[in-house]
Structure 1
Amino acid sequence: MNMESSFIHTFLISFVEMLYLVGAFIAVGFLLGFLEKYSNTYLVRAFGRQGVLLTAWIGTPIHEIGHLIQCILWRHKVTKVKLLQVNSSDGVLGYVEHQYNRTSMYQQVGNFFIGLGPLFSGIGSLILGMYLLVPQSYATFKAQIHQHIALGKVDINVLKTIGGAVIAISRSLFTLHNLMTPSFWVFIVLAISISSHIALSKADIRNSANGLVMIFSLLVLFNIVAVFLHVNSYKMIVQLGEYNTYVLAFSSIAVLFSLVTLVFSYLLYKVKIT
């Protein structure tokens, strides 16, 4: 293999390894963004911009707290925080401004996770809300994770398992007993508010892309060193990426309630126009 082919091979392997490591986060982020876009579209059509503001009081602060926590973890300097603003001329509901050392690889990688911060805070808040307000459904969720989800490659069988877990959770959540329980409806309001603002903004995506470039660069460097050391770097990364089964399992909760939010928004829109 000549030098040029070797470099091309290294770049391709690094790209595939990057997908193993962070592809699940990216896929979930885009899926939630797609669902949120249509949910908010129906809310705006039904109630104008005030429709989005109805859920922003809860959803936006949790979104921004996700950015803030990741800034702290990745040692970025937070210069300004606005958890919620309802009268912004540009329509921005909240933001976290931060600075970082551009010579620090750690802080540059952090851009990726800071951009994805709302996914972590949103999913965490949904699970916490389930634990506090609908404990029986939380117990079902926990049991499904322990019994059916394990480290492994993401394939069709894993996706079927996660799909089955989501169905089991849905059945435990939407029961006659819960429908007659006030805490269930409090949870639904919280879940819809969080899910309506869990997706990434364009600025979030740009910030994550900067971190993704550094992650890719580090993988290229890692693979070059691995060649000289005769180490199977691809096998190591694939094994490390097995945590994606848990990423998808926990993310399925956010996807579930984003779908609920979409249906709820559509029904409100249909009622409004009839």
Structure 2
Amino acid sequence: MYLIKLILTMFILIFTTAGITLSLTYINRSSKKMLVTTFGFSSQIYLGFLGIIVHEFSHFIMAIFFGHKIKQVKFIILPKQAHTDGNLGYVDHTWNNHSLWQSLGNLFIGTAPIWGCTTFLYAIIQYMMPNLYVYFSNVQVAILSKQWSNILNFPARCGSTLHEYIVTIIAIYLICNVTIGGFDLSNADLMSSWPAFLALCNVILIICIASYFIGLSTLVDTILLKMSLNFVIVMSLSLIFSILINIFIRYFRFFIKLQK
């Protein structure tokens, strides 16, 4: 039955999103923990300050969008103060529990750093590593057109001049900084997102059923396919960078232990 297929597609998208979000949190929390145990508490701030700022700014923007009242905000806390209370930054906000819009907003506010940091990485690649950006754009087209061979046409290099190589090095540094500092969702972020996540599932279920009975199920299914592809491609970037950085930190940590 087409309605069941539509609902399954929607919920696969939702739970895939949740799975990648939790994976990013776990991997980058592990990276931060290794940095702290190896180089001290302040290392996560020095090596991930830009990511911390993007993390808190994402919370801030999403809280405003959903009409929450901002009580206090600090995009980054300097190492000395952060070491005292354990916070790297914060956005203190309140909302109306009787407002469905503001309550659903908790899901997107809590997970906002995942979307904000991913968007930031995507922008870095688009403007500083154009060859790689074109490749990922071609991957999307290849999947839609089922021309799988195009996926293997990976760019041979990211630059041909000294200027391009320098820009690429800066881009890699920015990517590492944002990845280290930005993707680790706190327990408070995850806890505030859970009730809103359940509410969103109910809302989406209603939308699927309504679209089926008013004859818009095909349109919704097409939109879902495009959303799924964009999501998988963009979020895969974040996941790949997170895994690579985690592996690098593990290797570097192991190398240091061998020298002792």
The interval holding the TM-score normalised by the smaller chain is 0.7 to 0.9
Change (3 A) 1:44 1:15: farther
Partner AA of 1:19 in structure 2: F
Question: Cα offset for 1:60?
Answer: 0.2
Contact 1:149 1:249 (C-alpha < 8 Å) held by counterparts: no
Structure 1 position 184, deviation (Å): 1.7
* 1:191 equivalenced with 2:185 (yes/no): no
Query: When the two structures are superposed, what TM-score results if normalisation uses the length of structure 2?
Result: 0.79
The DSSP-based 3-state class of the residue aligned with 1:93 is: coil
- The aligned counterpart of 2:136 is 141
Which of the residues 6, 18, 21 maps onto 1:29?
Answer: 21
Name which of structure 1's ranges 32-41 and 237-246 shifts more when overlaid on structure 2. 237-246
1:216 pairs with 197, 201, 206, which one?
201
Residue matched to 1:270: 254
What is the one-letter code of the residue matched to 2:177? S
In 1, the alpha carbon distance for the partners of 2:127 and 2:207 equals 44
The more displaced of 247-256 and 49-58 is 49-58
Match of 2:16, as an amino acid? A
- Structure 1 residue runs of 5 or longer lacking an equivalent are 1-11, 152-156
Q: How do residues 112-261 of structure 1 correspond to structure 2 at under 5 angstroms?
A: 112-145=107-140, 147-150=141-144, 168=154, 172-173=157-158, 181-196=165-180, 197-219=182-204, 241-242=224-225, 243-261=227-245
Comparing 264-273 and 118-127, the one that deviates more: 264-273
Structure 2 residue matching 1:84: 3-state secondary structure: coil
Aligned mates of 1:34, 1:255 — CA distance in 2: 11
Q: Which residue in 2 is equivalent to 1:5?
A: none
1:97 maps to what in 2? 92
CA–CA separation in structure 2 for the residues paired with 1:180 and 1:236: 42
Once structures 1 and 2 are overlaid, which stretch shifts more, 31-40 or 113-122? 31-40
Q: Pairwise CA RMSD of aligned residues?
A: 3.6
Q: Which amino acid aligns with 1:206?
A: M
Distance 1:17 1:78, change over 3 A: farther
Give the whole-Å Cα distance in 2 for the aligned partners of 1:250 and 1:133: 16
Aligned residues: 251
Change in Cα spacing, 1:22 to 1:220, as seen in structure 2 (3 Å) is closer
C-alpha deviation, 1:133, in angstroms = 2.2
Cα 1:71–1:259 shift into 2, 3 Å: same
The DSSP-based 3-state class of the residue aligned with 2:47 is: helix
C-alpha displacement at 1:56, in angstroms?
2.9
User: Which consecutive residues of structure 2, in runs of 5 or more, have no partner in the other structure?
Assistant: none
Give the CA deviation at 1:38.
2.5
Q: What secondary structure sits across from 1:97 in the alignment? A: strand
Does structure 1 retain, via aligned residues, the 8 Å contact 2:136–2:233? Answer: no
> 1:239 deviation in Å?
5.6
**Greater relative contact order structure (CA < 8 Å, 6+ sep):** 1
**Secondary structure at 2:87's aligned position in 1?**
coil
- Calculate the TM-score normalised by the size of structure 1: 0.76
